[in-house]
Structure 1
């Protein structure tokens, strides 16, 4: 379906970037629903064009209504909120529609001053938006549409109470639309309670991986992962590598090891200030830093043009997170690769990912890194007699009990 078949004006279509010539599937499915003012639950793979699926519709409606703040987009992280705002504003400003990004890490007074200009579209993280609502710093009476992007992550991060409070403060007569790439059935039942007879659209098989991603999984010793990572980066001469890891401290430690190996590396996680996070991400996008070690702060929604490779240094406990992590590559129809370094201790995580994605995901071994670790049998390495001895020691109450028996 060409853009001309969608309910969008020529002004909005002419504002599209030159490389966007035809709508993505999720855009053809979602735009007519939003334009018809119906509630919506939309599922689409990462990198499939979800932002413009709701962004173009909101711009078109704002252009027609010419009201003050009339649409709110909620995102789970500051980075995703900023990216959404950038993507939408690049088009909206060309048709005199203003947007604003409201999130933590930025001085609140600056945001309040910008709200005085009555931007038509607000992109926000739940915490900062709720704070401004409670202070009376944002006008809600004209809001007719609220979008929840990456809704499963919004709820998973503990925003459920904030989301409910925000929706209660918005006009009762409004449209609600929710977007995500993955959604468990029990969570879908939960979000449906916030929707009014929603239209459900799906642009892919549930929880699926983009076809353009080439996945490789290597079984390695846990203690060999750092050397494997260094060897892979140097052998392949990748100029831009996004590496995911579980813990903030581990991210910093791995960053130091790669820099020591003369690989330009930076870490990005929640302990960094907002300014540090923005600077680090900008340096990575501009290829001033070759490798970015990130916790799952970046697994949702961040778009990096032509990112060639994503590496899971550790598998995530959640299979949904795996889908979103590797979705940072092969965006907008481009090709990409995803490598996972898997040790025996992560077997349960891998099995959960296989079941969730319905993919075989076979493990290979690297010739230069033979696997010597043995899978856990689930049995304790301590002999039974040692356990009994330990319990006897714990149960002793006096010094005399620790003395051996006297010889006759």
Structure 2
């Protein structure tokens, strides 16, 4: 047994059982660093690329600490979007099987009465959006006096002006001997600065590239196109064989126009943006996840934390505003070493920007074109059939 495998063996037996059932072999790099640190009650500030197993890196040691005999809340996990909250809850339920540990989700916009009913069932782990969690604390419905661990998932999205005060108040409402853990795919300087204020002598873990996951399974390609012609390329991508494509657009206006044009051409797509109600968002994600639609068109805000298995292509319809956004978006495909393709639809100006990103991130972006319904190299020639 390797040192890495021992990390899981040393956790409670129910975790090891689910690990074996899931068919996992060794922990990923972020898991092998973070799990022991969190088990030892250290505060942690961790950065690792999207798709490297960050959720389990904090979830397994948090579950390991929970006393299922106690009826009080012992850990709070905060996330910036409803979708991410629900995904964390699903993972928590999967990994706590047979342990007697209960979790509950609390999100803005949901029925408050129903959420209070959840608290009556005495969850030991609370997973929620900052606004709603703080609201329940202020109403004295959510008691924080036994909370030992606070987790900030996608920390760079939580430590922003709209959430920061709520986060600080939530952390302050817990035990003075609390543990604060922050995870993110990117950690800008200002986020590290705020994270240091919330933590005590935190162990900073930075994984630039996970060597346990073969990253060379993701291809980065691009098509040169005028802005107005990008829709034709999206149309062709939607018709690729066995495609499951997540398409990123910069705002709701662009998304609506693109979706309407595709639907007019009888192309069935799902959409995801922050102005949609909860039911419509869930329906969109479900239809895309189940393969009823080959393409999900989303804004960056709505797609944060979205974890859908087997996404074959991530498409940058609107070019990312910076390198961090490129990393976040692109990490939705090729998760845990699966293969995937990242497609950028770029104008000449954006092509220069993409090449800069590629150089900085250490990959090569290859230009392609369509020949009929196939993606080919631009110089590839085809003989005419007689």
The corresponding residue for 2:72 is 68
Q: Quick check: 5-14 or 144-153, which moved more?
A: 5-14
Does residue 219 of the first structure (1) align with residue 224 of the second (2)? yes
Q: Secondary structure at the match of 1:140?
A: coil
Task: Note if contact 2:68-2:124 (Cα within 8 Å) is conserved in structure 1.
Answer: no
Query: For the residues of structure 1 that align with 2:361 and 2:88, how far apart are their CA atoms?
Result: 30
Aligned residues: 366
Out of 62, 66, 71, the residue aligned to residue 58 of structure 1 is 62
Following TM superposition, by how much is the alpha carbon of 1:181 offset from its aligned partner in structure 2, in angstroms? 1.0
For 2:341, what is the secondary structure of its paired residue? Answer: strand
* Counterpart Cα distance in 1 of 2:112 and 2:5: 39
Per the alignment, residue 403 of structure 1 pairs with none
Residue 196 of structure 1: aligned partner = 200
2:237 to 232, 236, 242: 232
Indicate the structure (1 or 2) with the bigger Cα radius of gyration.
1
Deviation at 1:32, TM superposition (A): 0.8
Contact persistence 1:147–1:177 (CA under 8 A): yes
**Aligned equivalents of 2:157, 2:7: Cα separation in 1:** 33
Distance 1:367 1:4 in 2: 49
Q: Which runs of 5+ in 1 are unaligned?
A: 370-408
User: Which 10-residue stretch deviates more, 187-196 or 285-294?
Assistant: 187-196
* Secondary structure of 1:311 counterpart: strand
TM-score, structure 1 normalization: 0.83
CA distance in 2 between counterparts of 1:177 and 1:247 reads 31
TM-score (norm 2): 0.88
1:268–1:348 Cα change, 3 Å: same
Of the three residues 257, 268, 286, the one matched with 1:253 is: 257
Q: Name the structure 1 match of 2:149.
A: 145
CA positional deviation for 1:365: 5.7
1:3 aligns with 2:8: no
Q: Which sections of structure 2, spanning at least 5 residues, go unmatched? A: 373-386
Shift in Å, 1:363: 6.1
Specify the SS of the correspondent of 1:15: helix
The whole-number CA distance in structure 2 between the counterparts of 1:230 and 1:81 is 32
CA contact (8 A) 2:45 2:204 kept: yes
Alignment-derived partner of residue 377 in structure 2: none
CA distance in 1 between counterparts of 2:258 and 2:41 reads 48
C-alpha separation between the residues in 1 aligned to 2:370 and 2:267?
23
Q: 1:133 to 1:56 in 2, by over 3 A?
A: same
In structure 2, distance between residues paired with 1:351 and 1:337: 17
